[in-house]
Amino acid sequence: MNILENDKLIIESKNSGAELTRIYSKDLKKEILWNGDSTHWSRHSPILFPIVGRLKDNKTYIEDKFYNMSQHGFARDMDFEIIYNDNTSITYRLISSDETKKLYPYSFELLIKYTIINNSINTNWIVLNKDTKDMYFSIGAHPAFNIYDDLCNYYLEFKSRDIVKRISLEGPYFNSVKEVYNLNNLRLEPKIFEKDALIYTNIDSINLKSNKSKDYININFKDFPLVGIWTPYYKDTNSTAPFVCIEPWFGLADSVNSDKIYTNKAYINKLKPLESFNSLYTITIEKE
């Protein structure tokens, strides 16, 4: 594990998937990030690239050829190299290879940078098109935050822009899209995750709060098109895992009526040759 530390936080990350694996608050003496217990979910905060969600039948048509790719893409299961590391930040890099081109035909460079500033963690993404043609991709975050009490004691506060829409799922694929009015807060309970993730557009930040605590987590992802909110739901007991994922996305699963053409995916991103994509989201441990 690779460790960054200041007087407020300890964060750990690893080369495999460039995944953030631990956030510890010294002030609160509390683990913030899910520990990866495979009883519920073996990951902590995987990087989703070059797809978010699932492809129809795990297949997509790119550059006149079909490619097979599992849910959320391959980056989360590949080894990144560290290209920079100091007391406050670490930067990982994944470069396209013969292995990645069996799954995804483009030449690319993906950089993931973590920086600690006081009681915040900045996550920077840079995607560079190293190809001679336009490159299409999706990218997303999937951090899981610990729930220390009954889920029903927790709620979300939203800061939104423009008109918020709710994207509903049918199985692993998106189906209907409807406008949502007055989405200021949402009380959490197991039943709302019965059909998998809640997905919204035009949200800039979310606070994860508990009725029984003055500390809370703020996830700021201004100008991201989508956010997913998820925890595993167990129908037999009407219960969930002891964490909630708040997932800023630049991409979406295939629709139920997908034609499997990659460039037709909803919320797909395009880069011209040698063009780069840059984005940032921030996790902050706050106290009222």
Give me the mean pLDDT over the 162-189 stretch: 94
Q: How confident is the model at residue 287 (pLDDT cuts 50, 70, 90)?
A: confident
Q: Name the maximum alpha-carbon separation found in the chain.
A: 55
Tokens at 79, concatenated: 């080894």
Q: CA-CA distances (angstroms) from residue 259 to 60, 74, 103, 106?
A: 9, 22, 18, 21
Q: Is the pLDDT assigned to residue 19 strictly greater than 90?
A: yes
pLDDT of residue 153: 97
pLDDT of residue 182: 82
Nearest to 167 by CA among 197, 119, 200: 200
Question: Do residues 144 and 45 make contact, with C-beta atoms less than 8 angstroms apart?
Answer: yes
pLDDT of residue 114: 98
pLDDT of residue 221: 98
Please give the Cα distance from 271 to 12 (Å, whole number).
31
Q: Is the pLDDT assigned to residue 288 strictly greater than 90?
A: no
Instruction: State the amino acid at position 266 in one-letter form.
Output: A
Q: Is the pLDDT assigned to residue 206 strictly greater than 90?
A: yes
pLDDT of residue 162: 85
Give me the mean pLDDT over the 151-168 stretch: 96
Q: Is the pLDDT assigned to residue 43 strictly greater than 90?
A: yes
Model confidence over 61-115: pLDDT tens digits?
A: 999 999 999 999 999 999 999 999 999 999 999 999 999 999 999 999 999 999 9
Q: Is the pLDDT assigned to residue 130 strictly greater than 90?
A: yes
Give me the mean pLDDT over the 14-39 stretch: 97
Long-range contacts of 89-95 (CB under 8 A, 24+ apart): 89/4, 89/113, 89/114, 89/115, 89/116, 90/2, 90/4, 90/13, 90/114, 92/13, 92/15, 92/18, 94/18, 95/130
Q: Percentages helix, strand, coil for the chain, rounded to the nearest 5?
A: 5, 50, 40
Give me the mean pLDDT over the 224-243 stretch: 97
Nearest to 70 by CA among 56, 84, 83: 56
Domains and CATH numbers, the chain: 2-287 (2.70.98.10)
267: left (phi over 0), alpha (psi -120 to 50) or beta: left
Average pLDDT, the chain: 97
Q: Tokens 């290209």 — which residue?
A: 83
Q: Is the pLDDT assigned to residue 253 strictly greater than 90?
A: yes
103: left (phi over 0), alpha (psi -120 to 50) or beta: alpha
Please give the Cα distance from 249 to 224 (Å, whole number).
6
